[in-house]
A and B are shown apart, each in its own frame.
Chain A
Amino acid sequence: MGQSGTAPLVQTSGLTKKFGDLLAVENLTLAVEAGQILGLLGPKDAGKTTTLRMLAGIIAATSGQARVAGFDPSASPEKLHEMIGFLPESPGLYGKLSARRNLEYFAGFYRGIDGSRIEAQLKAVGLWERREDKIGSFSKGMKQRLALARALVHDPVVLLLDEPTAGLDPQAGRELRQMITTLREQGKAIILSTHNLPEAESLCDRIAVVHTRLLAMDTPRALRERLFQREIEVELQKPNELAYKSIKDLPYVKAAIIDGCLLRVELSEPETMQPNLIATLVKAGAKIMSVTEKRHSLEEIYLDLLHKEADGKR
């Protein structure tokens, strides 16, 4: 339940999908309200597409429940489909048909969509001028915009967007993110998947870090504090065990490892404690060649989260 007291438009509990022996999504529980964007952030094969397909009623969950726009996706997909817009990973448009005809065709599966609605949609995604052109000649960004117009043509309340900006150039990606932000303002409940951390940060109200399981779900700000600890890499002139020992048990050192001449240290408060660390090292006789600060790559964060979860289970 949100602060406003409205029921979430998307809600899952223990959602699980197995393909034979392969566990693609495990025990996923999440909720999204109107006017909210939830980002499913995860690497390739993390189960993002599978999750969105289950929510869209395209594939059936192995176990667990879901409610999307008031419907159970596995029970009444046709009613559900009136209420949701789905943007698949690849646009899936007919290259030999015009932009207008493509949109008309997909609109033909819904009730009461007329020419003026098609026109408005084409204008909204900036393709009205190109409406009679075959989309085979369109750029990736234009196709993706048309696919978004298709997902919106019946004015759904829930939007499921599978990697909406993947493979787009920066400009096209920005345009699409702009459109998605507008849709949030219109009060749609949006779930989008991405493997792009900055995108998730800038676009989403909440981020669900997924890797088959849900590893963490929070606002970008809270996640940043949890995940984005920085690591300092100190390059020594020669291996120095003593220097390592002098710092490894300091209260502000969360973790430290030495690997030849490289000393990697994770600090709890890098801004204030980095000078102290260096002073301690020098006092212990370390000859420092360089100090670099490393942000964790997303991949490392996942692994880190996975390890932590595995540890926690033990």
Chain B
Amino acid sequence: MASARRINNILLREWEAIFRDLNSALFVTCLPVLILAQAMVVVWLLAHYGGEAVATSSVFMTAIARMAGAMPSTDGLHNVDMLRLLLLNQLPLYLLLVPAIVAVAFATFSILEEKLTQSLEPILATPVRTWELLLGKALSGAVPAIAATWVCAGLLVAGLHVLQWDHLLGWVMTASWYLALFLLTPAVALLSFLLGIIASPRAADSKAAQNIAILIILPVMALIGIQVTGQVWFTPILMLAISLAVIVIDIMALFLAVRLFRRETIVSGWR
């Protein structure tokens, strides 16, 4: 009860700080939409102008074959629809960029703010527990990051409707997609936030700290690369396995963050 009150206290002030700052407010709201819009434009362009030629090109042939194998019900679809589907099925992975970037930005913003104002020392002299402080901050970053991703997913569905690709929806909103959205996205958001917490005190400024975001973007891009070139297809089982792996990494990162977040280290190392 007392913990909940203190966590809430932290959460509210973090949001106040973030949304008072125009840059970070724009960052959280606009960046996810830009990421999604850009992806959809690419999908549309490729399908529209590339069409049959791209769909049957050797570049995508293996991947499309693999997809057809994973989703036999796509049997009757023509080639261009198969290309659209292949590209659309990358989007749940691509959308992982949103929690990754938003959460790491929040983490670095939050830690650097405390570092610059030197406010951690008086906070540590209050009855707040270290884990409450950490959880309050993590929630303040993870909640908007996850929310932004879900909004993007909603916009994606709306976008398919606008493009009159509704008939493909059933093969986009698969079990894999729901796993990516409701399991992998929170796991990635948390991991990203924790990495931000771990790295920020060591970074000289927010630029340096946000470069850490690259670290988490790379594996996401790698996942897309693997699928789109036809190496593997992320079946629900595989997606579940990846999510669980990230959750395991989350737990390890949490232990590391709590260790690094010891009172003594904060006051000593963050001078």
Interface residues of chain A, those whose CB is within 8 Å of chain B, are 19, 53, 56-60, 77-79, 81-82, 84-86, 88, 90-97, 101, 105-106, 108-111, 147, 150-151
How many angstroms from the CA of A97 to the CA of B113 in the assembled complex? 12
- Closest chain B residue to A95, Cβ basis: B117
Q: Which residues of B contact A53 (CB under 8 A)?
A: 121, 267
Q: Is the CB of A93 within 8 A of B119?
A: yes
How many angstroms from the CA of A78 to the CA of B17 in the assembled complex? 26
Q: Is the CB of B263 within 8 A of A59?
A: yes
Q: Which residues of B contact A90 (CB under 8 A)?
A: 118, 121
Q: Is the CB of B16 within 8 A of A147?
A: no
Name the contact of A92 in the complex, choosing from B6, B16, B119 (C-beta under 8 A). B119
Q: Which residues of B contact A82 (CB under 8 A)?
A: 127
Name the contact of A78 in the complex, choosing from B5, B123, B127, B264 (C-beta under 8 A). B127
How many angstroms from the CA of A101 to the CA of B264 in the assembled complex? 27
Q: Is the CB of B117 within 8 A of A58?
A: no
CB within 8 Å of A: which B247-264 residues: 263-264
Interface residues of chain B, those whose CB is within 8 Å of chain A, are 2, 5-6, 9, 13, 16-17, 20-21, 113, 117-129, 263-264, 267-268
Q: Which residues of B contact A56 (CB under 8 A)?
A: 125
Q: Is the CB of B268 within 8 A of A92?
A: no
Q: How far is the CB of B242 from chain A (nearest CB, A)?
A: 39
How many angstroms from the CA of A204 to the CA of B125 in the assembled complex? 24
Q: Is the CB of B20 within 8 A of A109?
A: no
If A58-B263, A60-B264 touch, does A92 touch B17 (CB 8 Å cutoff)?
Answer: no
Q: How far is the CB of A75 from chain B (nearest CB, A)?
A: 14
Q: Is the CB of B263 within 8 A of A109?
A: no
Q: Is the CB of B9 within 8 A of A108?
A: yes
The 8 closest A-B pairs by CB, nearest first: A108-B9, A86-B125, A109-B126, A92-B119, A81-B127, A88-B121, A92-B118, A92-B122
Q: List 13 A-B contacts (CB under 8 A).
A: A19-B268, A53-B121, A56-B125, A58-B264, A92-B117, A95-B117, A96-B17, A105-B9, A105-B13, A108-B5, A108-B9, A109-B126, A110-B127
If A19-B268, A93-B117 touch, does A88 touch B125 (CB 8 Å cutoff)?
Answer: yes
Q: Which residues of B contact A59 (CB under 8 A)?
A: 263-264, 267-268
By secondary structure, the B interface counts as helix
- Closest chain B residue to A87, Cβ basis: B122
Q: Which residues of B contact A95 (CB under 8 A)?
A: 117
Q: Which residues of B contact A151 (CB under 8 A)?
A: 122
How many angstroms from the CA of A109 to the CA of B136 in the assembled complex? 12
Q: Is the CB of B16 within 8 A of A97?
A: yes
Name the contact of A86 in the complex, choosing from B2, B21, B122, B129 (C-beta under 8 A). B122
Name the contact of B123 in the complex, choosing from A96, A101, A106, A111 (C-beta under 8 A). A106
Q: Which residues of B contact A86 (CB under 8 A)?
A: 121-122, 125
Q: How far is the CB of B74 from chain A (nearest CB, A)?
A: 53
How many angstroms from the CA of A92 to the CA of B21 in the assembled complex? 19
Q: Is the CB of A58 within 8 A of B267?
A: yes
Q: How far is the CB of B234 from chain A (nearest CB, A)?
A: 43
Q: Is the CB of A150 within 8 A of B5?
A: no
Q: Is the CB of A96 within 8 A of B118?
A: no
How many angstroms from the CA of A10 to the CA of B122 in the assembled complex? 20
Q: Is the CB of A88 within 8 A of B118?
A: yes
How many angstroms from the CA of A57 to the CA of B127 in the assembled complex? 10
Q: Is the CB of B117 within 8 A of A94?
A: yes
Q: Is the CB of B267 within 8 A of A109?
A: no
How many angstroms from the CA of A88 to the CA of B114 in the assembled complex? 14
- Closest chain B residue to A96, Cβ basis: B20
How many angstroms from the CA of A85 to the CA of B128 in the assembled complex? 14
- Closest chain A residue to B114, Cβ basis: A92
- List 18 extra interface pairs beyond A78-B127, A97-B16, A109-B127, CB under 8 A: A56-B125, A58-B267, A59-B267, A59-B268, A90-B121, A91-B122, A92-B117, A92-B120, A92-B121, A92-B122, A92-B123, A93-B119, A94-B117, A105-B9, A106-B122, A109-B9, A109-B123, A151-B122
How many angstroms from the CA of A108 to the CA of B127 in the assembled complex? 10
Could you say which of A78, A97, A109 has the most chain B C-beta atoms within 10 Å of its C-beta? Answer: A109
Q: How far is the CB of A21 from chain B (nearest CB, A)?
A: 14
Q: Which residues of A contact B17 (CB under 8 A)?
A: 94, 96
How many angstroms from the CA of A96 to the CA of B13 in the assembled complex? 11
